[in-house]
Structure 1
Amino acid sequence: MPRRALRTTTGLIGLVLILAAVALAIVGPVFWDSEATRIDAADINAPASGEHWFGTDGLGRDVFARTMVAARLSLTLAVLATLLGVGAGVLLGALPTVLGRRGARLVTTLVELLLAFPGLILAMFLAVVSGLGARGAVLGIGCATAPGFARLTQTMAASVAGSDYLAAAKVLGVGRTRRLTRYVLPNIAEPLILGFTVTLGQSLLALAGLSFLGLGVQAPTYDWGRLVGEGMPGIFVSPLTALGPALAICIAAIGFTLFGEGLSQAASGRAVVRWRAEPTDPKAVPPVPAGTADTAGADDKAVDEKAVLDVRDLTVTFPGGVRPVRGVSFTVRPGQVIGIVGESGSGKSLTAAAIAGLVPHPGAVGATRLEIAGADPRALGPAERRRLLGTKLALVFQDPMSALNPALRVGTQLAEVVTTHRGAGRTAARKSVVAGLGQVALPDPERRVRQYPHEYSGGMRQRAVIAMGLMAEPDVIVADEPTTALDVTVQRQILALLGEVTGGAGRGLS
């Protein structure tokens, strides 16, 4: 994920700012310490100049030098406060997963009570109670951060709590600590890392605020927040005396926030396919055994103008030279059914994903020819590609429950297809949905459009997914083992249904 974050503009800028702040924290006290502590009675409260870039303070000390030196303490306190808050929050949030019912309820109630208090007020209260100074400020910010992180961890851990592997670990007698560190936390680490990065910037701002109010770092030590407070009385005479340290706070906080945003973009961008527009280099592709790569139409190298799907030398490559799909070629004509047969893990689902542009990052798709309804999606812009894949191609997944959003009614999800790609209004979309569910022989479609996916049986959900694919009247249907999770009777019905919707309308099926 960090490498993917560096491929985003925000992540790269954020990392550069963070590295600059860290470098300043390392070398600042080495180069500017003597200048920062030197008192010059003849240069008290001097405005910004070539000799003193940010001016001087009430004792004639150079504010720019003090800003450079203060970077180490400011960043150190921010990291300590964040580690304290994240550590306590993760522990409180994950404990209910491994505790009994009473213990889980007690921890959850504690988190809810802490969330009821405003974070800044709680931080100020704890800072005063524990004693003014850096230690009290770190304790206050850390404790104020913990409840929010606990809620985040609790929400993420709840998705793991009901998993079979965690139940199996409990049956095997795995201890609570090991279940927590081995089974729960690794599976929710990604959003916690994102939150940690953003929280660093927030902690830096909060600590600066406490020091500005006199509740944080105390003299003779100083951080950026204290420097801002010391420069405020003369801000109209020498603005940079206060704005200089404030600018340092902003740059460091923005750096942490941007890097966290970059991590978030990288985490959410896994389903973005990387197209290789150029033809696949035949020399780079390992030889394919005869009879295993080509299917119907592969021997005909001329362009088939009637084909609704034309694939030649399709290759999917992952870093390290891994090619699970190598040199696959086939042609699907209107009304034709093409089946791809192979053992588990041979790349059948990945082939379907490559055609639909759904190969997960960092996979790269290459092909000498890839045409859907006569158009090459690699040659189109993002908007045109979405329209082509959304209207000319329908993809039916293996698991209909994961293909349908459990939080939305089935009718709403099917209507989204026609409203997005055909611009239909609400009334017209509803009529199309009812007709579509009736087309796949779903009983009582008027009532079914108002139901949620969990109210459907397995066969009904698969019929609904097929209906969703047919809403935009596609030219070709790519069915990725659509009967895997169904019993044999329903399997036969679904296969018969696919045959009807394919042959009757002249669609291709793969």
Structure 2
Amino acid sequence: MPHQDQDTSLRHRLGRALRTPIGVTALTGCLLVALVAVFGPVLLGDQAARVDTDAINQGGSAAHLLGTDQLGRDIAARVVVATRLTLRLTLLAAVVGVGGGLLLGVAPAVVGRRLGRLITATVGVLVAFPGLLFLLFLATIFGVGSTGAVFAVGLAMVPPMARLVQNLTASVAGSDYVAAARILGVGRFRLVVRHLLPNIAEPSVLFAAQATGGILVAFSGLSFLGLGVQPPEYDWGWLLNEQLNRIYVNPAAALAPGAAVVLTGLVFGLVGEALAQAGGRRTSQAPDPAAGRPATAPVDTDPDNDDAPLVRARDLRVTFPGGRHAVRGISLDIGAGEAVGLVGESGSGKSLSALALADLVPHPGRVDAGTLRFDGHDPRADPRLGTELSMVFQDPMASLNPALRVGRQLAEVAEVHLGASRAQAMARATDRLGAVRIPSPERRARQRPREYSGGMRQRAVIAMGLMGEPKLIIADEPTTALDVAVQQQVLDLLAEVRADSGAALLLISHDLAVVAQVCERVLVMYGGLVVEDLPVAGLIRGAAHPYTRALVGAVPTMATDPGTELATIPGRPPEPGEAGPGCPFAPRCTGARDRCHDEVPDLTSSGPGHRVACWYPVDAVAVGAPARTISNGAEATP
């Protein structure tokens, strides 16, 4: 069943990719080249072979479109007829290269350690060797002719293909399901076919498709040098060699074979790009109405739809291959205009939960949810998501292309999602830069990200999110690596943006002081679960989960005695897939009991607007600890 689902998903993604401009162009190019290769020799074979001593070395004419060669043969017909042999030899060389690369690539994962290291080192040496010299060396060894050229070009492709497969296989070979297969005694061949190759198939196919264009050029180059196809056979490289000395007399005759090589190489490259879209590594702008989701996103069917929150998620899960559950079934609501903080240690699932809400979880992660609604629609099917949801990431340099001007990058959002003209989009980009208080926005729009300070780059990313009309802003650690003054400016800016636009805010942070300053409600995550949901006002004195109280106790304040030892949490957070049957925090909790290790507590109500997932929640009133103050002036109890 999983394999059937994967095949269906791939088929839908491939169909969607073929409906994009790149996909349509690639499919058209493939069909055209295939038709020429199949029917060209049948229709024009006699004309290409006919010797006419009365028409030797003529220029282009109605009878001979590209002229004739030194024996009076029609050059245009010979270029068309040469398509079949050129493609056949190119694809044979690609088969040699792909097959050898796969063999050497997966070998280190299934053979002994010493032999595996030897194979890896050998591939590394060959990859470091200049490719052109390696190709000429192989061509010398295998000799002149089509067969030798096929092996020379194919084997020259083996090292880069093998290196790619080795890297991909190494990431898969350490997975739990591969280890389980080894323990169960699965043979090497079956291990490769069932567990390794299916999980590296997509990137391997993409690389092979794009590398085939390079093989075409390399093969034509060998024929041009006289090391490939030999008379009476001929391919595009040989034809280019024949007509090169006439390039100044009849340039069309010399350039036609070269143009055929370039255009066919571009077709192979476009095929690779289309496969990349189908493989999920490029994002297609066209929605897929046939991917098991309705073309028009369904409206929330809750009976209280008028009062439904802006964001509603029920049993939201993010899973990676190998049984790694990064988010383990969380439920959350975000009201319109509400500011919600999402806090927890690194690896707790904060960022992946936010990415799942925006349908941006990277491949090969899988998002499942009982209910997932954004403004009453499924964000995985609603094309409006690009204009109504804004993401502000942790590192602005990862969001901004350093080679492009900032204004151009912002304008692209309006062109793609809003259908604005280039002039309209640039005007809006300048306006948005001014809205986030970047001085001289017209001049700054013409600058590149490297000319911005760290704080200005973060403002530019926020401006990018404001190019549409966002109803929700997801800010993932937006103040990390900024000094205190700039951090405060960014937080003030987010507050102003909320006030001006009425957008809701989901702020992801590990800094409770930042969350307490900006947000109205806090969700505390641990081990892929929400362990507490409470108002910010109750975070300080009313936290009921031991983990939340430990986070509060670890926050230093202006009033903290320099000699005071901050609270620490023993142990480390669980990795995805490590969580046991009980509460994920139980191994680190000093108050854990037997039930905590055996059963996972549900997130249940603990008061107005307060929910906690703990079998034995802390009674903050009973604790009676002395109050303390954190940076926003609120009182706290460690």
- Give the equivalent residue in structure 2 for 1:385: 388
Q: Distance in 2 between the 1:87 and 1:194 partners?
A: 15
Q: 1:490 to 1:252 in 2, by over 3 A?
A: same
Separation of aligned partners in 1, 2:207 and 2:111 = 24
2:33 to 21, 42, 58: 21
Is the alpha carbon distance of 1:475 and 1:140 closer, same or farther for their aligned partners in structure 2, counting shifts above 3 Å? farther
- Say whether residues 1:197 and 2:203 are aligned partners: no
- More deviation in 36-45 or 272-281? 272-281
Query: What TM-score results when the alignment is normalised by the length of structure 2?
Result: 0.54
Q: Can you give the 5+ residue segments of structure 2 that lack an aligned partner in the other structure?
A: 1-9, 288-292, 314-330, 341-351, 394-453, 465-476, 489-507, 532-573, 593-600, 613-629, 633-638
1:277–1:366 contact (8 Å) kept in structure 2: no
Output the CA distance in 1 between the equivalents of 2:285 and 2:586.
35
Partner of 1:421: 462
> What amino acid is aligned across from residue 59 of structure 2 in structure 1?
P
Aligned to 1:431: 484
Q: Is the 8 A contact 2:296 2:382 kept in 1?
A: no
Contact 2:139-2:148 at 8 Å conserved across structures: yes
How many angstroms apart in 2 are the aligned matches of 1:101 and 1:351? 39
1:114-263 to 2 correspondences below 5 Å: 114-263=126-275
Q: In structure 1, what is the Cα distance between the partners aligned to 2:136 and 2:101?
A: 19
Matching residue of 1:370 = 376
Cα separation, 2, equivalents of 1:414 and 1:179 = 50
AA of the residue aligned to 1:125? F
Give the structure 2 partner of residue 320 of structure 1.
Answer: none
CA distance in 2, matches of 1:142, 1:386: 48
Residue 406 of structure 1: aligned partner: none
| Inter-partner Cα distance in structure 1 for 2:38 and 2:145 | 23
SS in 1 for 2:376: strand
Which residue pairs with 1:482 in the alignment? 530
Shift, 1:280, TM fit: 3.6
* Alpha-carbon distance change, 260 to 10 in structure 1, aligned in 2, over 3 angstroms: same
Shift of 1:23: 1.2
In structure 2, the residue matched to 1:356 is 358
Equivalent pair of 2:17/2:275 in contact (CA under 8 Å) = yes
CA distance in 2, matches of 1:500, 1:385: 29
Q: Pick from 276, 281, 287 the counterpart of residue 268 of structure 1.
A: 281
Q: Which amino acid aligns with 1:62?
A: D
Partner secondary structure for residue 247 of structure 1: helix
Structure 2 CA distance for aligned equivalents of residues 145 and 311 of structure 1: 50
Task: Indicate conservation of the 8 Å contact 1:111/1:151, yes or no.
Answer: yes
Distance, in Å, in 2 between the alignment partners of 1:108 and 1:354 is 37
Alignment of 1:399-478 (within 5 A): 420-421=461-462, 429-431=482-484, 470=515, 473=518
* Cα deviation 1:280-311 (Å, max 9, x = unaligned): 489xxxxxxxxxx74xxx43x54x5xx86366
Question: C-alpha deviations, 1:163-218, integer Å up to 9, x for none?
Answer: 11111111222111221122111111110010111111111111011111111111
Distance 1:379 1:137 in 2: 50
Shift of 1:42: 0.9
The answer to whether the 8 A contact 1:280-1:368 is kept is no
Q: How many pairs does the alignment contain? A: 405
TM-score (norm. length: structure 1) = 0.66
Q: 1:465 to 1:370 in 2, by over 3 A?
A: farther
Alignment of 1:24-39 (within 5 A): 24-39=36-51
Letter matched to residue 64 of structure 2: H
Look up the match of 1:50: 62
Separation in structure 2 between the aligned mates of residue 3 and residue 362 of structure 1, nearest angstrom? 21
CA distance in 2, matches of 1:472, 1:224: 69
Structure 1 partner of 2:407 = none
Say which SS state the counterpart of residue 61 (structure 1) adopts.
coil
Deviation at 1:415, TM superposition (A): 12
In structure 1, distance between residues paired with 2:586 and 2:367: 37
Give CA-to-partner distance per residue, 1:359-384, whole Å, 9 cap, x none: 89999999795399xxxx969683x4
**Judging changes above 3 Å, is the alpha-carbon distance between structure 1 residues 474 and 28 closer, same or farther for their aligned structure 2 residues?**
farther
2: CA distance between counterparts of 1:186 and 1:59? 53
Give the deviation of 1:3 after TM superposition: 2.3
Q: Which residue of 2 aligns with 1:96?
A: 108
Matches within 5 A, 1:254-333: 254-266=266-278, 267-269=280-282, 280=298, 294=302, 298-299=303-304, 302=306, 309=310, 332=335
Q: Which residue of 2 aligns with 1:322?
A: none
Kindly provide the CA deviation profile for residues 425-466 of structure 1, in whole angstroms up to 9, marking residues without a partner as x: 98983438999xxxxxxxxxxxxxxxxxxxxxxxxxxx9568
- Rounded to whole Å, the distance in 1 between the matches of 2:131 and 2:150 is 13
CA-atom RMSD in angstroms: 4.8
Q: Tell me: higher relative CO, structure 1 or 2? Use CA pairs within 8 A at least 6 residues apart.
A: 1
Name the CA shift for 1:128/1:334 in 2 (closer, same or farther; >3 Å): closer
Contact 1:417 1:472 in 2 (8 A): no
Distance 1:362 1:244, change over 3 A: farther
Tell me: CA distance 1:419–1:246, structure 2 relative to 1, closer, same or farther (3 Å). Answer: closer
Give ranges in structure 1 of 5+ residues lacking alignment.
283-292, 313-327, 338-349, 392-412, 436-462, 506-510
**Identity rate of aligned residues, in percent?**
38
Cα 1:332–1:371 change in 2 (3 A) is farther
Whole-angstrom distance in 1 between the partners of 2:586 and 2:265: 59
Deviations 1:391-450 (A, max 9, x none): 9xxxxxxxxxxxxxxxxxxxxx99997773389998983438999xxxxxxxxxxxxxxx
Q: For the residues of structure 2 that align with 1:56 and 1:332, how far apart are their CA atoms?
A: 75
What's the CA shift string for 1:15-39, capped at 9, x where partnerless? Answer: 2112211111110110011000000
Letter in 1 for 2:376: L
Matches of 2:463 and 2:208 in 1, distance apart? Answer: 43
Residue number in structure 2 paired with 1:12: 24
Q: Distance in 1 between matches of 2:24 and 2:83?
A: 21
Q: For residues 416 and 465 of structure 1, what CA distance do their matches in structure 2 show?
A: 21
